[in-house]
Structure 1
Amino acid sequence: MISAAASLTEDQWIEVLYNRFRIEVSQDRRPALHRAIGAYAQSIGEDNESLLAKALSRQLSAENWSKIIHLATNHETRFFRNRAIIDQLCNYAETFARPRVLSVGCSTGEEPYSIAIALAERGLANFKVHGIDVSEDCIATASEGIYKASEAIPSRYVKEVTNGHLRFYDWLKDFVTFSQHNVMSDRPIGFTNPSVIVTQNMLIYYRKEARHRILEGLALGLPIGGYLITGPSEDAGWKPTDLQRLPVPTASVFKRTQ
């Protein structure tokens, strides 16, 4: 049984995460998050309450925040998780002479590498894929480019490292870059004029108003003719005035028209 003090601390963490990052944690994940934060606090010589006190007084370091955000979000992903969306994305990318694809909420990098492979499979050689995620731990994993063996990855793109782990060849990694970024901040992403922006399973952590704000911020970076893709219904009824919603059944797709 959860004590009243523990329940209060749990609720306060949820409030802090929402107020600072607009991240929502589902009811069923809150106890596990509370335990995970407690374990992390112990690993750095703190307890849950003292770490929370620092968070409330804005005394937590960027490293501490990065770890807590990592714990608060779900990083489950896999290569070619949604092949239909990747194929649609590639169709759009092919209409640009130098495709630039931005993967938002890229987790540990499986989506950006999947996109790079899909573009390479179509014979494209002059493209860039950039992945961003709020978790520095995820970005570190993605930048390393070492993963457990997966049948979804064609063997010509990877070499075996050890113990069933594979590493992408440098020539493929040269097409893909990563950076840590919080989409709720006003800080520039650092990847300009993306031809296509894609975000899947990231907006689900935010309320409707926050989702719309995130999408509006992302759309500002699109050139005329650029595309913004989200998972089905993840846009929460967003109705931009300068983007056209396209009739795509497998995703929510918007195209900048002006």
Structure 2
Amino acid sequence: MAAPVMTDDRVASAGSSAAGLNGPTLQDTEFAFLRQFVYDQCGIALSDQKRQLVQGRLQRRLRALRLRDFSEYCELLKHDPASELGELASAISTNVTAFFREMHHYDLLIEKLLPEWIEQKRRDGGRLRIWSAGCSTGEEPYAIAMVLAEALERTGAKIDAKILATDLSPQALEQARRGVYAFDRLGGVSDERRKRWFLRGQGEYDGLASVHPRLRELVTILPLNLLHDWPMQGPFDAIFCRNVVIYFDKPTKEKLFARYARMLPSGGYLFLGHSESMHGLSNDFELIGRTVYRKRT
């Protein structure tokens, strides 16, 4: 079993003075630079109301990097943006995820899509590909892997099936790669699936569970900035991009949905989060269920 990982609780308080107990203050010019940098690099629009949150969360990064103030942090971003981009994005966003969150999406996979895809791939020898875009700490792609593995077992099909899981946050990706979770994170997993797909920790790992090696075989975890170049070519049968575009403005959403459309064949599926919509943002998709979209033929 992999070693446990301690996750960032993301609780931080904003400082009130340059030499205060909570760290340096984020000045107007520094916040203006960070807002533009985050928008250009991540597509995230930070409002004035987010200033205290940004200050509080980034004070931890200043301490970790041994920087005296936010001006030094801004200089780091100017001269070496790639080295810090993932940590910055991780600090200012909140990775809220769970196994089998929005269960109606998994019901559609289990009852309709996976049986159809597997039969089709078995006939024509094609590949089955699903992309979890914004996979956070891995609960989503591993949940998809569970239902995919079960569908393959039921049919006895021997096909090339894989799940791509990507995220910008290096901390989230590290936990996803380890695949180790506290028992209280398995609330959405049935008892049957817990027994089938998790290995229970013992001794110093008591209270933890590691995902089954079969799930690891199905999932490839890679870093990716959705606003930058994509190395993969597709096509994907389905893309899960849930609770990601809530951070983006309208132009960024429009560009992202257009890129997703190019990664999907006619009839391919795009899954969004419960508070997200494609209304007025794309003509490439039609709504067929609760936050489930299908690419038009």
Indicate yes or no: 2:181 matched with 1:147. yes
Match of 2:55 in 1: 34
> Please, what TM-score do these two structures have when normalized by structure 1?
0.87
Q: Give the CA deviation at 1:95.
A: 2.0
Q: Give the CA deviation at 1:61.
A: 4.7
Taking the aligned partners of 2:101 and 2:233, their CA distance within structure 1 comes to 24
Match of 1:239 in 2: 282
Instruction: Report the secondary structure of 1:32's partner residue.
Output: helix
> Please, what TM-score do these two structures have when normalized by structure 2?
0.76
**Kept after mapping to 2: 8 A contact 1:109/1:139:** yes
After superposition, give the CA deviation of every residue in 1:126-162 in whole Å (9 maximum; x if it has no partner). Answer: 4211111111221121111111112433221010231
Which residue, 86, 95, 98 being the options, matches 1:75? 95
* Aligned 1:86-125 pairs, distance under 5 A: 86-90=106-110, 91-96=112-117, 97=121, 98-122=127-151, 123=154
Which residue, 245, 248, 258 being the options, matches 1:206? 248
Match of 1:15 in 2: 36
Mean Cα displacement is larger for which, 62-71 or 197-206?
A: 62-71
Moved over 6 A (4+): none
Match of 1:174 in 2: 217
State the identity %.
25
Q: Give the CA deviation at 1:27.
A: 5.2
Mean Cα displacement is larger for which, 92-101 or 214-223?
A: 92-101
Instruction: Report the secondary structure of 1:247's partner residue.
Output: strand
| Paired residue type of 1:235 | M
| Paired residue type of 1:227 | Y
What value does the CA root-mean-square deviation take over the aligned residues? 2.3
After superposition, give the CA deviation of every residue in 1:29-56 in whole Å (9 maximum; x if it has no partner). Answer: 431221221221122121322111332x
Instruction: Report the secondary structure of 1:99's partner residue.
Output: strand
**Kept after mapping to 1: 8 A contact 2:134/2:244:** yes
Instruction: Report the secondary structure of 1:246's partner residue.
Output: strand
Instruction: Report the secondary structure of 1:102's partner residue.
Output: strand
Mean Cα displacement is larger for which, 75-84 or 59-68?
A: 59-68
Mean Cα displacement is larger for which, 199-208 or 65-74?
A: 65-74
**Kept after mapping to 1: 8 A contact 2:267/2:294:** no
Taking the aligned partners of 2:163 and 2:138, their CA distance within structure 1 comes to 11
In structure 2, the gaps of 5 or more residues are 1-14, 19-24, 122-126
**Kept after mapping to 1: 8 A contact 2:240/2:271:** yes
Taking the aligned partners of 1:254 and 1:27, their CA distance within structure 2 comes to 36
The 1:189/1:94 distance shift into structure 2, 3 A limit, reads farther
**Kept after mapping to 2: 8 A contact 1:130/1:191:** no
In structure 1, the gaps of 5 or more residues are none
Mean Cα displacement is larger for which, 194-203 or 60-69?
A: 60-69
The 1:61/1:11 distance shift into structure 2, 3 A limit, reads closer
| Paired residue type of 2:246 | I
Taking the aligned partners of 1:189 and 1:148, their CA distance within structure 2 comes to 33
Aligned residues: 251
After superposition, give the CA deviation of every residue in 1:166-194 in whole Å (9 maximum; x if it has no partner). Answer: 11111121011111111111x22426221
Which of structures 1 and 2 has the bigger CA Rg?
Answer: 2
Taking the aligned partners of 1:41 and 1:129, their CA distance within structure 2 comes to 36
